[in-house]
């Protein structure tokens, strides 16, 4: 085990400050020069591990205004927990000393829209691998759909709030990561690591925190908003 160099709170504060600079058009573009590149040749010490959707608009080092060696990142469509994702986050926590895992969802997510479509009466044709990858999002579609609709079990994209589905799936992703990893759960239990789930708003560029597990004080938005 590599001990974290900072507390989860310190990691979150620095991470959130980077996003704030980006939101305000005041990015400092730190850690992107030749010196930083040279400094990192033999080691990396990212304090934050990020697991997010692959969406091209979520370029992590840009939207969190950081640079080389700052974020350990794993992404896939719809941020769906898989063994390779769990392993990557575990590696960050155990070998690299990351103190914070950020799960990054976003609004207007194509994977969430596709999961809603796959939950509809007449799903679109897609490949088996896409279908399997989207399957873990479908319980969140169903949860929201059946809360408000009792006439049919099939979701209708025109009658469901896709961003609200995305937030339910974000919370489910955080839970699933903890369920899948004893190592991460134990680190959170000890208070050396925290997980924060954020939904990124494409228009303003802000990563809004909706869920936290572990020792980070922050203002959470309501999952119902």
Shortest distance (Å) from residue 108 CB to Zn ion: 8
Q: What x-and-dash track marks residues 55-94 binding Zn ion by CB under 5 A?
A: x---------------------------------------
Stretch that binds Zn ion, among 4-12, 60-68, 109-117, 184-192 (CB under 5 A): 109-117
Q: Considering beta carbons, is residue 104 or 194 the nearer one to Zn ion?
A: 104
- CA dist 154 → 116, 120, 136, 160 (Å): 9, 5, 16, 11
Q: Does 109 bind Zn ion (CB under 5 A)?
A: yes
Q: Considering beta carbons, is residue 111 or 188 the nearer one to Zn ion?
A: 111
Cβ atoms within 10 Å of 95's Cβ, excluding its own = 12
Q: What is the DSSP letter of 210?
A: E
Q: Does 166 bind Zn ion (CB under 5 A)?
A: no
Q: Considering beta carbons, is residue 85 or 188 the nearer one to Zn ion?
A: 85
Q: Does 104 bind Zn ion (CB under 5 A)?
A: no
Q: Which helix (H) or strand (E) holds 49?
A: strand 48-53
Nearby residues of 158 by Cβ (< 8 Å), 6 or more positions away: none
Helix 162-180 vs helix 138-148: crossing angle, to nearest 10: 130
End-to-end CA distance of the chain: 39
Shortest distance (Å) from residue 115 CB to Zn ion: 10
Shortest distance (Å) from residue 141 CB to Zn ion: 14
| CA separation for the pair 47, 3 (Å, rounded) | 11
Q: Does 53 bind Zn ion (CB under 5 A)?
A: yes
Q: Note whether 168 and 199 are within 8 A (CB).
A: no
Stretch that binds Zn ion, among 33-41, 107-115, 145-153, 174-182 (CB under 5 A): 107-115
Nearest to 101 by CA among 114, 112, 90, 116: 90
Helix 83-94 vs helix 162-180: crossing angle, to nearest 10: 60
Stretch that binds Zn ion, among 28-36, 49-57, 172-180, 195-203 (CB under 5 A): 49-57
- Does residue 45 sit in helix, strand or coil? coil
Q: Considering beta carbons, is residue 55 or 176 the nearer one to Zn ion?
A: 55
Q: Does 114 bind Zn ion (CB under 5 A)?
A: no
Q: Does 169 bind Zn ion (CB under 5 A)?
A: no
Shortest distance (Å) from residue 105 CB to Zn ion: 7
Binding site for Zn ion (CB under 5 A): 53, 55, 109, 111
């Amino acid at each position: 085990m590599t001990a974290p160099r900072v507390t989860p709170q310190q990691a979150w504060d620095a991470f959130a400050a980077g996003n704030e600079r980006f939101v305000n058009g005041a990015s400092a573009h730190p850690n992107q020069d030749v010196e930083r590149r040279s400094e990192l040749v033999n080691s990396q010490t990212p304090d934050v591990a990020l697991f997010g959707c692959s969406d091209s608009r979520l370029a992590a080092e840009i939207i969190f205004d950081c640079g080389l060696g700052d974020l350990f990142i794993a992404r896939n469509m719809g941020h769906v927990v898989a063994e390779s994702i769990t392993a990557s986050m575990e590696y960050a926590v155990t070998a690299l000393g990351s103190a914070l895992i950020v799960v990054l969802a976003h609004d207007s997510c194509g994977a969430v829209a596709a999961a809603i479509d796959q939950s509809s009466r007449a799903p679109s044709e897609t490949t088996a691998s896409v279908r399997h990858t989207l399957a873990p999002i479908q319980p969140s579609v169903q949860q929201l759909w059946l809360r408000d609709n009792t006439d049919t079990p099939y979701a209708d994209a025109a009658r469901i709030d896709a961003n609200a589905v995305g937030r339910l799936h974000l919370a489910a992703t955080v839970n699933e990561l903890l369920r899948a990893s004893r190592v991460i759960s134990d680190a959170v239990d000890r208070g050396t690591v925290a997980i924060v789930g954020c939904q990124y708003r494409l228009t303003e560029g802000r990563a809004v925190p909706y869920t936290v597990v572990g020792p980070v004080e922050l203002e959470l938005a309501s999952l119902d908003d």
